């Protein structure tokens, strides 16, 4: 792709030539299948009527199943405790625990861009209680065997607009102990008081045994044209949030129509943090950014929703594609994080003495995203990650393959990434959106928010 910000103009031509020539060489050598195995996560290519669009290019993937003391490649050092929704992320900002600036900005840091505001509204609208949950039909319909049923459920998701789908076992600790209180009116100050003092709603996890993860791609072409924290950053997130919410709400209602319990969980209405369920569904591994999940093809250029259910399904189970060692050696997201929220240590730590992950400060991340005066939210780590920030090519596939087979090659993939200028480029022809930077510094002047 052309770029107007690559360090050496000659590199632009050499990169194009290199990628084209390399593709021809690989094809001539008959080795393209090594670098592009066309593994389809969540879809059996022999049985599915609707194949996933998200073919995994390059990564060598192992299904590792469920093991005591582990969730995928994440080691559990003690029983994981259920948490309360009000103690997470933006709810901490709403409660005033992250400073006055974050508290004053948190409800409008996405909405200060008019497109982001539109997507956010739809995401919240899809979170109304009657959309996410309800009583199942009193009679269970006749269904095929669980292998065919599982594939059918995935096909429903693809047909509804998902880019990737997986099925996993649901463990009780994956859900919140209680949801945050729902506001009783439109008074913002009153809601903050209610969030701090009013009891939450208990989450009953015992009736669900399975989880269905849905991923939606935020869009590579758009990502190539963004800095990572401009007007489109928040809009990209909310687009994928609203689309995944749409799929999850429809799937949950469909399963209830079949006579089984099902609840959707998405940006408009969570009863659980999603990362553990996504790992259980085989949709990725834990990344250096903390609790964010990287998918073998999409990286973490995606947003997710999860449906929990008692519909009998066949779990895909956790996977290993070498990400833990890759993230140990890369550190590119840590070096480029404007909020200094991502640690650069090679080794993981025991987070809250419960499970191993890299050190990352979610409070710092939340503060920067809510108070950023240069755009709407932040997607800088997404922009620079070598796993997902470039157009598909033979060299990217080869690099990802090497990194997934031997994680130390992650530093090589990162070096090639830097040499070609990925993560720093802004491709002007992909900048299709409009910008109103005056509202980034003062959202109170935005007419669509003041109306």
- 154-166 confidence digits (pLDDT tens): 999 999 999 999 9
pLDDT in tens, 25-62: 333 333 333 333 333 334 344 455 555 544 445 788 99
CB 156 within 8 A of CB 197: no
pLDDT in tens, 75-133: 999 999 999 999 998 999 999 999 999 999 998 899 999 999 999 999 999 999 999 99
Which of 204, 188, 304 has its CA nearest to residue 247? 304
pLDDT in tens, 286-331: 999 988 999 998 998 999 999 999 999 999 999 999 999 999 988 9
How many whole angstroms separate alpha carbon 421 and alpha carbon 323?
A: 22
How many whole angstroms separate alpha carbon 341 and alpha carbon 343?
A: 7
60 φ/ψ angles, rounded to the nearest 5 degrees: -95, 115
* pLDDT at residue 9 tops 70: no
Which of 391, 398, 425 has its CA nearest to residue 412? 398
Using alpha carbons only, give the angle 355, 337, 321 rounded to the nearest 5 degrees: 50
Which of 358, 355, 369 has its CA nearest to residue 75? 355
């Amino acid at each position: 792709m052309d770029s107007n910000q690559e360090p050496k103009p000659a590199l632009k031509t050499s990169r194009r030539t290199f990628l084209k020539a390399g593709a021809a060489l690989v094809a001539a050598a008959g080795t393209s299948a090594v670098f592009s195995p066309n593994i389809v996560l969540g879809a059996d290519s022999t049985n599915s009527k609707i194949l996933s669009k998200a073919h995994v290019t390059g990564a060598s993937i192992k299904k590792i199943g469920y093991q005591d003391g582990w969730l995928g490649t994440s080691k559990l050092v003690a029983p994981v405790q259920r948490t309360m929704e009000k103690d997470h992320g933006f709810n901490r900002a709403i409660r005033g625990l992250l400073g006055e600036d974050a508290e004053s900005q948190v409800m409008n840091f996405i909405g200060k861009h008019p497109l982001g505001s539109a997507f956010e509204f739809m995401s919240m609208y899809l979170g109304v209680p009657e959309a996410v949950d309800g009583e199942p039909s009193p009679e269970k319909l006749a269904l095929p065997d669980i292998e065919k049923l599982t594939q059918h459920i995935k096909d429903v998701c693809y047909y509804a607009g998902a880019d990737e789908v997986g099925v996993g076992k649901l463990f009780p600790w994956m859900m919140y102990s209680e949801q945050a209180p729902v506001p009783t009116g439109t008074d913002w100050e009153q809601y903050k008081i209610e969030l701090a003092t009013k009891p939450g709603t208990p989450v009953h996890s015992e009736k669900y045994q399975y989880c269905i993860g849905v991923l939606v791609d935020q869009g590579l072409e758009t990502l190539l044209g963004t800095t990572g924290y401009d007007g489109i950053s928040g809009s990209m997130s909310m687009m994928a949030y609203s689309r995944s919410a749409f799929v999850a709400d429809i799937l949950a209602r469909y399963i209830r129509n079949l006579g089984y319990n099902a609840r959707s969980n998405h940006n408009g209405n969570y009863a659980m943090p999603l990362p553990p369920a996504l790992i259980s569904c085989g949709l990725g591994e834990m990344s250096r950014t903390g609790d964010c999940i990287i998918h073998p093809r999409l990286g973490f250029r995606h947003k997710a929703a999860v449906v929990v259910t008692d519909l009998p399904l066949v779990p895909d189970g956790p996977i290993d594609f070498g990400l833990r060692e890759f993230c140990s050696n890369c550190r590119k997201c840590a070096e480029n994080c404007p909020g200094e929220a991502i640690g650069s240590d090679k080794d993981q730590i025991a987070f809250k003495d419960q499970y191993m992950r890299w050190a990352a400060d979610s409070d710092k991340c939340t503060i920067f995203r809510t108070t950023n005066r240069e755009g709407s939210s932040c997607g800088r780590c997404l922009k620079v990650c070598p796993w997902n920030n470039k157009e598909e090519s033979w060299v990217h596939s080869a690099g990802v393959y090497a990194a997934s087979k031997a994680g130390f090659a992650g530093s090589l993939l990162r070096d090639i990434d830097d040499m070609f200028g990925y993560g720093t480029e802004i491709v002007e022809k992909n900048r299709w959106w409009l910008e109103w930077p005056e509202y980034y510094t003062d959202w109170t002047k935005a007419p669509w928010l003041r109306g």
